[in-house]
Amino acid sequence: MRVVAALGGNALLRRGQALTAENQRANARIACRALAPLALAHELVVSHGNGPQVGLLALQGAAYTPVEVYPLDLLGAQTEGMIGYLLQQELGNELPPEKRLATLLTQIEVDPDDPAFGDPTKPIGPLYTAEEAKVLGSAKGWTLKPDGGSFRRVVPSPIPKRVYGLETIECLLSEGCVVVCAGGGGIPVVHTRERVPAGRRLVGVEGVIDKDLASALLARDLTADVLLIVTDVDGVYTEWGTPNQRVIRRASPEALAEMDFAQGSMGPKVQAACMFVEQTGGVAAIGSIANAGALLRGETGTTVALDAAGLELVGTR
């Protein structure tokens, strides 16, 4: 079976944790320990978020004033390498030495006229107080929006249109390799009108693609059987944050489409899961990285499938 596992940013750096290398390595180790059995039993592709990391790099770059802050496409590429290195190393520590591993930088095409470039919504970087957000917004020209009781910087998040390098990924999978790719939603690129030997010139753009939507596109184009969206919560809930909240154990895309989910957190995950299932007829699941194996088997988390009977809920009111 071919599985694409999309690791959420909070699965690699828990909410409220300091953005230290030690914390990220420790969380990568936990994630890879959960993914290792899947790598032994199935063809496995791993993608990951990068919101906290790319925001930190932007902050660090802003502190070095002799040059302009590096654009987000370059910062995204840096995080793909950094997080990919951690995941590849920790997976290697959990798997037999003969198991092959590879991390790829992945360019993903977006539309230069995407409305997202005029309406930043993707949160990156650490949490700030209201006072800190006001100062940063004024000093750096950033857009900051509420995130729970705090604030985070938000940047454009264009819709992914095309994944480059699919042939390479397919080749690696055919050789039994675990592939880490499309990190942080991939590096957002667009075509210019300039002609080059390969066709039109590709250039990076200022934005961060949603990791879950990019992973759904990747899973579709790789004809994956299952898309796992793993994060720091154990499933999708109805009436989240209230005494009446209940986990959705199984649902159809149609049933989920009638519900509202937070666009800064669960919304894109549900959208990505539904998109993959509707376009491929495969199965998607959303849940905790700690239970990746059980999530794949449909024993925990939220499974999205065409044959689900509406919403199947767990828990009492």
Catalytic residues: 9-10, 122, 211, 269
Q: Which two tokens stand for residue 272?
A: 């990505």
CA–CA gap between residue 102 and residue 73 (Å, rounded): 21
Residue 301: which region, alpha, beta or left (left: phi > 0; alpha: psi -120 to 50)?
Answer: left
- The position carrying tokens 């699919």 is 166
Query: Distance between CA 300 and CA 296 in Å, rounded?
Result: 8
What's the token pair of residue 309? 């009977």
Residues 6+ apart with CB under 8 A from 256: 236, 248, 270, 273, 274, 304, 311
Distance separating alpha carbons of residues 28 and 168, to the nearest angstrom? 25
Distances (CA, A) of 253 to 148, 217, 257, 271: 27, 16, 6, 9
What's the one-letter identity of residue 61?
A: G
Q: Please give the structure tokens belonging to residue 242.
A: 């209230």
CA–CA distances in Å: residue 80 to residues 43, 77, 83, 305:
21, 5, 6, 30
Distance from C-alpha of 67 to C-alpha of 213, rounded to nearest angstrom: 33
